Amino acid sequence: MRKKIAAANWKMNLGATEAQALITDIQALPHALKPHQEAVFAVPAPYLAMAVAAFKGKTGVGIAAQNCSDKASGAYTGEISVGMLTSIGVSHVVLGHSERREYFHEDNAWLAAKTDRVLSAGLTPIFCCGEPLSVREAGTQNDFVAQQLKDSLFHLTAEELLKTVIAYEPIWAIGTGKTASSEQAQEMHAFIRQTLGQQYGAETADQISILYGGSVKAANAVELFSQPDVDGGLVGGASLVATEFVAIINALP
């Protein structure tokens, strides 16, 4: 069975005291992760070590960086290497979030290099893809997303792809309160799986977890996650509220 994943993306929010309190509140709320389920917390870099320590020994919980360098080490002021991340016990890295693509000009080729770097360190990439509103309105979202996958992931071996999580996040649904309908999500997720299948074979594509992101909240998680190709969510705003995020974890099938 494919892994079902609830991934929190805190983005650039919370002070240290609030971050610690949010983790404490989440831990205090009842949730049990089944063996095929995972909760991942993509926290700001200064809190990674704290989050790793807070969840130490808890099976099914991963801690993610929100970005990393494509370089191994050296004179890259302000950057964070995968070696640093593994050395403190981080397990995942979110790559290619639309905010990084838009504000920090990360393109498909750069993300291909980052994906390689993350995989080479034994970390799990959560590779984000998704189209802007203009592309959705033009009806060319499938081509757009297929290109992102081809340019950034299709050089991977099947073995490497199997270590990768994909998050489909339509940009028009991020932070807007405007969720894709479960039909729209399912349609794109099925297309992504089919595209992966054409390159790697259906058996491999079948094992890849594809998360949906964009205004996921407790109120819509069950419906979204009940779609056959939606394997969980990458959650921004709602992941900053303990009750919301725990309800989203509990909505995993």
| Residues making contact with ligand PGA (CB under 6 A) | 9, 169, 174-175, 213-216, 234-238
Residue 31 catalytic?
no
- Rounded to a whole number of angstroms, the minimum distance from the CB of residue 189 to ligand PGA is 16
- Rounded to a whole number of angstroms, the minimum distance from the CB of residue 150 to ligand PGA is 22
Q: What would the two tokens of residue 69 be?
A: 């360098």
- Rounded to a whole number of angstroms, the minimum distance from the CB of residue 7 to ligand PGA is 8
Query: 97, 106, 131, 189: which is the annotated catalytic residue?
Result: 97
In this structure, which amino acid lies at residue 97? H
- Rounded to a whole number of angstroms, the minimum distance from the CB of residue 216 to ligand PGA is 5
The residue whose Cβ lies closest to ligand PGA is 236
Give the residue among 77, 61, 135 at the shortest CA–CA distance from 101. 135
For residue 34, CA distances in Å to 7, 31, 59, 60, 242 come to 15, 10, 9, 8, 19
Query: 38, 99, 106, 169: which is the annotated catalytic residue?
Result: 169
Nearer to ligand PGA, 152 or 215 (CB): 215
Residue 183 catalytic?
no
- In sequence order, what are the beta bridge partners of 126? 94, 165
The Cα 178–Cα 170 span in angstroms is 10
Q: What would the two tokens of residue 139 be?
A: 């009806």
Q: Is the dihedral of CA 153, 116, 168, 129 positive or negative?
A: negative
User: CA 196: distance to chain centroid?
Assistant: 17
Q: Strand, coil or helix: what is 78?
A: coil
Nearer to ligand PGA, 62 or 214 (CB): 214
Q: In this structure, are residues 235 and 21 in contact, taking their beta carbons and an 8 Å threshold?
A: no
Nearer to ligand PGA, 11 or 200 (CB): 11
Q: In this structure, are residues 67 and 94 in contact, taking their beta carbons and an 8 Å threshold?
A: yes
- Rounded to a whole number of angstroms, the minimum distance from the CB of residue 179 to ligand PGA is 8
Q: What would the two tokens of residue 105 be?
A: 């000009």
The Cα 166–Cα 174 span in angstroms is 16
Nearer to ligand PGA, 52 or 238 (CB): 238
Give the DSSP H or E segment for 212. strand 210-213
Nearer to ligand PGA, 81 or 220 (CB): 220
Nearer to ligand PGA, 62 or 200 (CB): 62
- Rounded to a whole number of angstroms, the minimum distance from the CB of residue 230 to ligand PGA is 14
Give the residue among 196, 252, 207, 204 at the shortest CA–CA distance from 225. 252
> What residues act catalytically?
97, 169
